[in-house]
């Protein structure tokens, strides 16, 4: 409602100006909160529709239901993105190693495109299978209820380039209490889980072992090459000795035989 219209209404009722002002302000704020509630309700509707398939993914593949739903909400814009509507792809999974229909491919720009699913639920199942790939194997070191470590782990494994991706997932999970779907609890935001620290320590140790192993292999390769070089130097000397003619006078003459 425009300001001029508000003034005209107030001037029309001079006795109750304050009451009318209050009513108008209340009406504006009511409209605002009604709009916010509609958006909030879309989130709740999405969660209610897909929570069972998310829980199934957790049981069958070990991916936390809270993480699955938070990613679906974020990646698909609460199921309203063009890709989610037209391709039933709620997670933005590209069509690498995909034999099915492809959405948004552009060969001239060398764009791979995205996977197309028959139903949104197929997208949820494929998302869980996708996260079972070797690239994301470290995630399964975390407890299924440790959504904070999973959120950060997805970013560390390269699922998303956005540095704020973990915080966005955690916000959604805690705002809509998705951690409670499988009986989990809200985790303390002030400290990282002990599991994540243990896994990172083990990864550091693995990297140290790998570095030592690489140094050992390089040392062995240097020894092998030196041995080859020495062998190559010895062989020409042996050949030269084998084919060098006897010096003059060393060959017995016919006069000597006589």
What is the block-wise mean pLDDT of the chain (258 residues), using blocks of 10 residues?
A: 54 55 57 49 96 97 98 97 97 92 76 93 97 95 96 95 96 95 85 52 56 69 71 62 52 47
* CA–CA separation, 239 and 213 (whole Å): 39
Q: Given the structure tokens 């199934």, which residue do they identify?
A: 56
Residues in the chain, overall count:
258
* Any domain includes 199: no
CATH code of the domain containing 59: 1.10.530.10
pLDDT at 258: 44
Q: Report the number of distinct structural domains present in the chain.
A: 1
* Any domain includes 168: yes
pLDDT at 15: 47
Domain, as residue range, for 120: 3-192
* Any domain includes 103: yes
pLDDT at 227: 75
* Any domain includes 222: no
Q: How far is CA 244 from CA 113, 138, 168, 238, in A?
A: 72, 66, 82, 10
pLDDT at 110: 59
* Any domain includes 249: no
pLDDT at 7: 57
CB 144 within 8 A of CB 58: yes
pLDDT at 92: 94
* Any domain includes 253: no
* Any domain includes 74: yes
* CA–CA separation, 234 and 232 (whole Å): 6
* Tokens of residue 35, six digits: 């709009």
pTM: 0.61
* Any domain includes 219: no
pLDDT at 194: 47
DSSP letters, the chain, are --HHHHHHHHHHSGGGHHHHHHHHHHHHHHHHHHHHHHHHHHHHHHHHHHHHHHHHHHHHH---HHHHHHHHHHHTTTTTSHHHHHH--SS--B-TT--S-EES-BGGGTB--EE--SSHHHHHHHHHHHTTSGGGGGGGGS-TT-HHHHHHHHHHTTS---TTHHHHHHHHHHHTTGGGGGT--PPPTTS--HHHHHHHHHHHHHHHHHHHHHHHHHHHHHHHHHHHHHHHHHHHHHHHHHHPPPPTT-SPPHHHH-
């Amino acid at each position: 409602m425009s300001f001029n219209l508000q003034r005209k209404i107030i001037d029309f009722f001079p006795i109750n100006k304050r009451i009318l002002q209050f009513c108008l302000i209340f009406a504006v704020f009511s409209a605002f909160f009604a709009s916010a509630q509609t958006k909030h309700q879309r989130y709740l509707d999405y969660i209610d529709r897909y929570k069972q398939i998310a829980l199934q993914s957790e049981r069958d593949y070990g991916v936390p239901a809270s993480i699955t739903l938070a990613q679906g909400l974020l990646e698909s814009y609460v199921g309203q993105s063009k890709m989610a509507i037209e391709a039933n792809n709620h997670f933005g999974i590209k069509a690498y190693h995909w034999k099915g229909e492809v959405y948004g491919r552009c060969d001239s720009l060398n764009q791979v495109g995205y996977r197309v699913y028959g139903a949104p639920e197929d997208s949820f199942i494929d998302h869980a299978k996708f996260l079972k790939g070797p690239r994301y194997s470290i995630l399964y070191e975390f407890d299924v209820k440790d959504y904070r470590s999973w959120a950060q782990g997805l970013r560390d494994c390269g699922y998303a380039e956005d540095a704020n991706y973990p915080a966005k997932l955690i916000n959604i999970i805690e705002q809509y209490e998705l951690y409670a779907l499988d009986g989990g609890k809200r985790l303390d935001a002030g400290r990282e889980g002990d599991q994540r620290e243990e896994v990172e320590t083990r990864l550091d140790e693995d990297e140290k072992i790998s570095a030592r192993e690489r140094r050992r292999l390089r040392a062995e390769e240097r020894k092998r090459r030196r041995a080859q070089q020495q062998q190559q130097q010895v062989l020409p000397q042996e050949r030269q000795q084998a084919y060098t003619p006897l010096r003059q006078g060393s060959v017995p003459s016919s006069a000597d035989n006589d």
